[in-house]
Amino acid sequence: MANALSRALDSDLWYSFSRSPVTVVSAVVALVCIMGAVLAPWIAPHNPFDLASLNLMDAFNPPAWTEEGNASFLLGTDDQGRDVLSAIMYGARVSLIVGLSAVVFSTVVGVGLGLLAGYLGGTVDAVLMRVADIQLTFPSILVALLIDGIVRAALPPEAHEAIALYVVVFAIGVSNWPQFARTVRGSTLVERNKEYVLAARVIGLSKLRIMLTHVLPNVLGPVLVIATLNLGFAILAEATLSFLGVGVPPTQPSLGTLIRIGNDFLFSGEWWITLFPGIALVALVLSVNLLGDWLRDALNPRLR
Amino acid sequence: MPAFILSRLLQAIPVLLVVALISFAMFAYVGDPVAIMLGQDFTEAQRQALVASLGLDQPFFVQFFKFVVNAAQGEFGLSYRLSRPVAELIAERAPATLELAFVAAAIAMLVGVPMGVYTGLYRNSWLSRFFLTFSLIGVSLPTFLIGILLILVFSVLLGWLPSYGRGEVVQLGWWSTGLLTADGWRALILPAITLGLFQLTLIMRLVRAEMLEVLRTDYIKFARARGLPDRSVHFGHALKNTLVPVITIAGLQLGSIIAFAIVTETVFQWPGMGLLFIQSVGSADIPVMAAYLMLTALIFVVINLVVDILYYIVDPRLRAGRGGH
Amino acid sequence: MNPVPAAAAAPLLEVRNLRVEFPTRRGTLTALDDVSFSIRAGEVLGVVGESGAGKSMTGAAIIGLLEPPGRIARGEILLDGQRIDNLPREKMRRIRGKQIGAIFQDPLTTLNPLYTVGRQLQETILTHLPMTPAQARARAIHWLEEVGIPGAAQRIDSYPHEFSGGMRQRVVIALALCAEPRLVVADEPTTALDVSIQAQIIALLKRLTRDHGTAVMLVTHDMGVIAETADRVAVMYAGRVAEIGPVREVVKAPNHPYSAGLMASIPPLDRKVEHLAQIDGAMPRLTAIPRGCAYNPRCPHVFDRCRVERPDLLDAGTTRAACWLHDPASEKRAAHV
């Protein structure tokens, strides 16, 4: 264990990490955001979903440091009297869950199909890549919107409400698989003809086994980079859908939902209801993107 | 050249057919258009008549064929929500979106390319670092938040620019334009910046990356070894080689401006196709969604074609490759 | 100082104690150390050595195009007695192409694919010579003829990809010579070409530079090319010059054990041999150059001093060699190596 740790500290990855102040700061910011979201039920000052504790008398409190601020609501309250800070922490939870699930979904689908296309070649490859090409022609936000719209039209409103969260995950996940599939396919084509894979074939290992035990580990590096960069994108996509009012249901507000709600009060001067969730969203996405950028450069110095 | 364009056109047809199939499937199988169109009270005879008049009793391929023929003529039926012909709705909204997208794309290209070239050439200058940081923030800021922030600053706090609508428009035949009045331009500034900013940062980062790649090539080193002035090495040799991939990706990005217009139009209540589409998604208005999908597909196909032709003009290797060598 | 054998005219190019360093995250690498040599007008200097010995980098330093973060840390480069290693960017640019031409290794990547060869020739000529575009075009056609492109007047408007590899290297040579520089740095000009074409290109280069009185620094790892083309040769090892002298002497009677090893590894044309000699071990990496003489771990004649002190170029009769065997003060001396 101590050995593994010292080896990790000596690695090039750690070196480039510790040498880049921006990356270290991003890691800290990302960690704070994630911890705040994960631990929200225990550390949030209020429970914004506990209707009993809401008091309309508390509505529209400005942030605590302003003149009319109330010390118990650090970042102020919204039109329902909900504590903005607590709402952000719970909202970040939803954003992160949706973002992570969507990335996992597109990674699994994309890597699986990419391996298949690259290893099997022929018709499978041609069909899969053609589908990926066509889908890539369209911006993923449009694909996600469309999937959401179709599900909405196909189901009665109550049924849609119940599965809305899954629909968003599916919509964002589907809109992103081609990127993974293309990268994995490319690497698989390279790996497939290497001698160790040929050797594995000669000793009679099954195709599935060769793909999983020999080819897969070699394509994980680029997949990790794409997944990190995609997490930032997925969180943004969810926020955009929710802002447009077609994302997560209003009963489980994400950061995007909070910004949309707050947007209605922008003109009447209650800027904090929309600004703070916005800052939280940007901090989360920016730090994740910076980490992804760093990871890409660190794993592939030539790309610099 | 004509053979090349023809092959590209042939490749576009399957794409359009797939999109048409998806649109048609939405029409035919999602929800019940008959029930929606009839409303609450109807007799079985009325229902039968409507089914027959819509052709819903006919085999799948006959229906699909009719759908494609109608779509090619811009005929998409009535909007469920507004009970007006879809084609009419779109024709009414299209000018607003196209003008917005055009101005946003112009901002993105005219500012993004020079910034990318600069940061590629002088990668260690403080201005480059500033541009790069700025671009990272641009990529991480969601479009709607940029819009909200711009409204907060320029409309709410400073009161300089309007926060919604197109301002005063002038009717040129069926095309309504906001580009001929000062009021129209004032209303256009914030939405266009909002829409263009993301593309701008993307184009800048792309041009920079390509520029760095090209500057490492042997022919650039050789151009320097021949004693050519920096100006000619950078803008004659390097920039032109950078343009080949930049045209491709920037072209595709321009396509996505149309899609991101949905978000911008929502923030600024800009009366374009995007706003129409998002309202349709919210109320499951399938005919409008289908028509919007087909139209965007068509726009993308046209953009791709233009990109291919530009590519062909810039790169002589392609010309020779297709020209029957 | 020992006298130069031929006429003691001032050399066209003189490199003195050149040292090139690369700062890296694990410390500074010395890529070239104490490299000195000179080239007279019209002379062909061959530079040989294994890959990584610093041949190409010496060429890059001379034309002022070292890859960053590489930099000249010490020493001077003089052209016609004027220092050029510390010139401002713009002044050095005017020297490149006009005074010093360059030929690169791979003709497939050296030409800009988006411009016709005529345009690339014309812009080079217009950059350096006071001509009208029409005159420059005529000169471009003339140079394409000079390098043996058939139908030059028509081919001038062709793009690089429309030429074969050998033809492209001819175009590169035309580009390097079209402003009539007095020195050409040719960095492995035939390595990327088919064997059948290599001899043609070398013959062309030899003829053109002789006709125009151009001096050549010919970097290669091909001893055959050197023996046939060069007047003098510099053997490089681990970033230093191991031996320098007239080509005949270095090939026939090398005075540095490394040169001797190198020459013994050339297959002779006139007789059959069972085994070609080879030098054991490998050239050290820049990160791990041994103390003393860099060649000492592989040298068959190594003695104590070699492991401690680094030898400079010493007079070795017909050539100059960086080897303690040629120091009168060395305790142990071999009659010959």
Cis peptide leading into residue A156 (ω within 30°): no
Q: Are B271 and B100 in contact (CB under 8 A)?
A: no
The percentage of residues in chain B with a pLDDT greater than 90, rounded to a whole number, is: 8
Residue C255 CB neighbours (<10 A): 25
Taking residues C300-319, what's their average pLDDT? 88
Which residues, 6+ apart, have CB-to-CB distance to C1 below 8 Å?
Answer: none
The CA distance from A16 to the nearest CA of chain B, in Å, is 18
Q: Say whether pLDDT at A303 is over 50.
A: no
Partner residue opposite B156 with nearest CB, options A146, A266, A286:
A266
- Yes or no, beta carbons of B224 and C65 under 8 Å apart: yes
Residue C272, class by beta-carbon neighbours within 10 Å (0-12 exposed, 13-18 middle, 19+ buried)? Answer: exposed
Cβ of residue B249 closer than 8 Å to a chain A Cβ: no
- What integer pLDDT is reported at residue A302 of this predicted model? 43
> For A260-273, how does the pLDDT look when each residue is reduced to its tens digit (9 = 90+)?
887 777 777 777 77
Taking residues A9-38, what's their average pLDDT? 78
pLDDT confidence tier of residue B206, bands split at 50, 70 and 90? confident
The CA distance from A245 to the nearest CA of chain B, in Å, is 8
* Lowest model confidence (mean pLDDT) among A283-287, C218-222, C270-274: C270-274
Residues spanned by the domain of B226: 87-324
The CA distance from B223 to the nearest CA of chain C, in Å, is 8
pLDDT confidence tier of residue A71, bands split at 50, 70 and 90? low
Q: Are C209 and C21 in contact (CB under 8 A)?
A: no
Secondary structure class of A44 (helix, strand, coil): coil
* CA-to-CA dists, residue A281 to A30, A288, B132, angstroms: 11, 11, 20
Taking residues C245-272, what's their average pLDDT? 84
pLDDT confidence tier of residue C243, bands split at 50, 70 and 90? very high
Chain A residues touching residue B255 (CB < 8 angstroms): 137, 139
Rounded Cα distance, B69 and A233, in Å = 38
Report, at the CATH architecture level, how domain A12-51+81-303 is classified.
Answer: Orthogonal Bundle (1.10)
Q: Which residue has the tokens 């035919």?
A: B28
> For B65-88, how does the pLDDT look when each residue is reduced to its tens digit (9 = 90+)?
888 888 888 777 777 777 788 888
Cβ of residue B282 closer than 8 Å to a chain A Cβ: yes
The CA distance from B32 to the nearest CA of chain C, in Å, is 57
pLDDT confidence tier of residue B258, bands split at 50, 70 and 90? confident
Taking residues B214-222, what's their average pLDDT? 90
* Lowest model confidence (mean pLDDT) among A241-245, B36-40, C80-84: B36-40
* Lowest model confidence (mean pLDDT) among C86-90, C168-172, C280-284: C280-284
Range among B12-26, C167-181, C261-275, C295-309 rated most confident: C167-181
- Yes or no, beta carbons of B26 and A150 under 8 Å apart: yes
Average pLDDT, chain C: 87
What single letter denotes the amino acid at residue A46? Answer: H
Q: Say whether pLDDT at C244 is over 90.
A: yes
pLDDT confidence tier of residue A101, bands split at 50, 70 and 90? very high
Q: Which residue has the tokens 């009414």?
A: B92
Residue B274 CB neighbours (<10 A): 29
Q: Which candidate in A263, A275, A284 is best for mutational testing of the B interface (most B CBs within 10 A)?
A: A263
**pTM for the whole structure:** 0.77
- Element at C34 (helix H, strand E): strand C27-39
Q: Which candidate in A138, A148, A174 is best for mutational testing of the B interface (most B CBs within 10 A)?
A: A138
Rounded Cα distance, A278 and B145, in Å = 7
Rounded Cα distance, B242 and B232, in Å = 14
- What integer pLDDT is reported at residue C219 of this predicted model? 93
Higher pLDDT, B218 or A155: B218
Q: Say whether pLDDT at B296 is over 80.
A: yes
Phi (first) and psi of residue B177, to 5 degrees: -115, 140
Which residues, 6+ apart, have CB-to-CB distance to C66 below 8 Å?
Answer: C20, C57, C60, C72
For chain B, the domain total comes to 1
Q: Are C39 and C13 in contact (CB under 8 A)?
A: yes
- What integer pLDDT is reported at residue C232 of this predicted model? 94
Residue B92, class by beta-carbon neighbours within 10 Å (0-12 exposed, 13-18 middle, 19+ buried)? Answer: middle
Q: Say whether pLDDT at C1 is over 50.
A: no
DSSP label at C211?
A: H
pLDDT confidence tier of residue C330, bands split at 50, 70 and 90? low
- What integer pLDDT is reported at residue B11 of this predicted model? 76
Rounded Cα distance, B159 and C277, in Å = 87
* β-strand partners of C103: C186
Chain A residues touching residue B262 (CB < 8 angstroms): 141-142, 145, 244
DSSP label at C335?
A: S
Partner residue opposite C127 with nearest CB, options B229, B244, B316:
B229
Domain extents in chain A: 12-51+81-303
Q: Are C113 and B219 in contact (CB under 8 A)?
A: yes
- What integer pLDDT is reported at residue C263 of this predicted model? 84
Q: Say whether pLDDT at A128 is over 90.
A: no
Which residues, 6+ apart, have CB-to-CB distance to A69 below 8 Å?
Answer: A61, A62, A63, A76
DSSP label at C96?
A: B
Residue C4 CB neighbours (<10 A): 11
pLDDT confidence tier of residue B17, bands split at 50, 70 and 90? confident
Residue B209 included in any domain:
yes
- What integer pLDDT is reported at residue A3 of this predicted model? 62
> For B123-142, how does the pLDDT look when each residue is reduced to its tens digit (9 = 90+)?
888 898 888 888 877 777 88
Q: What is the dihedral of CA C305, C310, C312, C314, to 10 degrees?
A: 20
pLDDT confidence tier of residue B155, bands split at 50, 70 and 90? confident
| Number of DSSP helices (H) and strands (E) in chain A, helices first | 14, 0
pLDDT confidence tier of residue B322, bands split at 50, 70 and 90? very low
Handedness of CA C319, C322, C326, C332 (dihedral sign): negative
Q: Are A199 and A214 in contact (CB under 8 A)?
A: no
What single letter denotes the amino acid at residue B282? Answer: G
- What integer pLDDT is reported at residue A10 of this predicted model? 60
Higher pLDDT, A269 or A248: A248
Closest CA to B235 of C93, C112, C101: C112
Q: Give, rounded to a whole angstrom, the gap between the first and last alpha carbons of chain B.
A: 13
- Yes or no, beta carbons of C93 and B232 under 8 Å apart: no
- What integer pLDDT is reported at residue C273 of this predicted model? 67
> For A180-232, how does the pLDDT look when each residue is reduced to its tens digit (9 = 90+)?
888 888 888 877 777 777 787 788 777 777 777 777 777 777 788 888 888 88
Helices (H), A204-254: 207-210, 216-243
- Element at A259 (helix H, strand E): helix A255-263
Angle CA A258–A261–A267, to nearest 5: 125
Q: What is the CATH number of the domain that holds B230?
A: 1.10.3720.10
Partner residue opposite C114 with nearest CB, options B226, B232, B240:
B240
Taking residues A153-162, what's their average pLDDT? 74
Average pLDDT, chain B: 82
Residue C331, class by beta-carbon neighbours within 10 Å (0-12 exposed, 13-18 middle, 19+ buried)? Answer: exposed
Q: Say whether pLDDT at B91 is over 80.
A: yes
Partner residue opposite B262 with nearest CB, options A145, A269, A281:
A145
Q: Say whether pLDDT at A89 is over 80.
A: yes
Closest CA to A107 of A4, A181, A193: A181
Rounded Cα distance, A190 and A192, in Å = 6
DSSP label at C269?
A: S
Closest CA to C43 of C22, C88, C13, C69: C13
DSSP label at A215?
A: I
Residue B264 included in any domain:
yes
> For B159-192, how does the pLDDT look when each residue is reduced to its tens digit (9 = 90+)?
788 878 787 777 877 788 878 787 888 889 899 9
- What integer pLDDT is reported at residue C237 of this predicted model? 92
Rounded Cα distance, C43 and C232, in Å = 8
- Element at A283 (helix H, strand E): helix A272-299
Strands C71-79 and C82-83: what pairing? antiparallel
> For C98-142, how does the pLDDT look when each residue is reduced to its tens digit (9 = 90+)?
999 999 988 889 999 889 999 999 999 999 999 999 999 999 999
- Yes or no, beta carbons of B316 and C128 under 8 Å apart: no
Q: Say whether pLDDT at A287 is over 60.
A: yes
R_g of chain C, CA atoms, integer Å: 21
pLDDT confidence tier of residue B2, bands split at 50, 70 and 90? low
C115 Cα distance to chain centroid: 29
- What integer pLDDT is reported at residue A165 of this predicted model? 84
Question: What is the complex's ipTM, to 2 decimals?
Answer: 0.87
Residue of C nearest to B219 (CA): C110
Cβ of residue B176 closer than 8 Å to a chain A Cβ: no
Q: Using a CB cutoff of 8 Å and minimum separation of 24, what contacts does C52-56 make?
A: C52/C283, C52/C285, C52/C286, C53/C236, C53/C237, C53/C238, C53/C239, C53/C283, C54/C20, C54/C236, C54/C238, C54/C239, C54/C240, C55/C187, C55/C219, C55/C220, C55/C221, C55/C236, C56/C187, C56/C188, C56/C219
Rounded Cα distance, A161 and A176, in Å = 24
- What integer pLDDT is reported at residue A233 of this predicted model? 87
Closest CA to B107 of B195, B15, B16: B195
* CA-to-CA dists, residue C60 to A127, B226, C295, angstroms: 49, 13, 24
Handedness of CA B125, B127, B132, B133 (dihedral sign): positive
SS (H, E, C) chain B: CHHHHHHHHHHHHHHHHHHHHHHHHHHHHCCCHHHHHHCCCCCHHHHHHHHHHHCCCCCHHHHHHHHHHHHHCCCCCECCCCCCEHHHHHHHHHHHHHHHHHHHHHHHHHHHHHHHHHHHHCCCCHHHHHHHHHHHHHHHCCHHHHHHHHHHHHHHHCCCCCCCCCCCCEEECCEEECCCCHHHHHHHHHHHHHHHHHHHHHHHHHHHHHHHHHHCCHHHHHHHHCCCCHHHHHHHHHHHHHHHHHHHHHHHHHHHHHHHHHHHHHHHCCCCHHHHHHHHHHCCCHHHHHHHHHHHHHHHHHHHHHHHHHHHHHCHHHHHHHCCC
Residue B49 included in any domain:
no
- What integer pLDDT is reported at residue B1 of this predicted model? 59
Cβ of residue B17 closer than 8 Å to a chain A Cβ: no
Q: Which candidate in B148, B279, B302, B308 is best for mutational testing of the A interface (most A CBs within 10 A)?
A: B148
* β-strand partners of A151: none
Taking residues C183-201, what's their average pLDDT? 89
Token duo for residue B306: 């233009």
Higher pLDDT, A236 or A73: A236
Partner residue opposite A154 with nearest CB, options B31, B152, B297:
B31
A204 Cα distance to chain centroid: 40
pLDDT confidence tier of residue A6, bands split at 50, 70 and 90? low
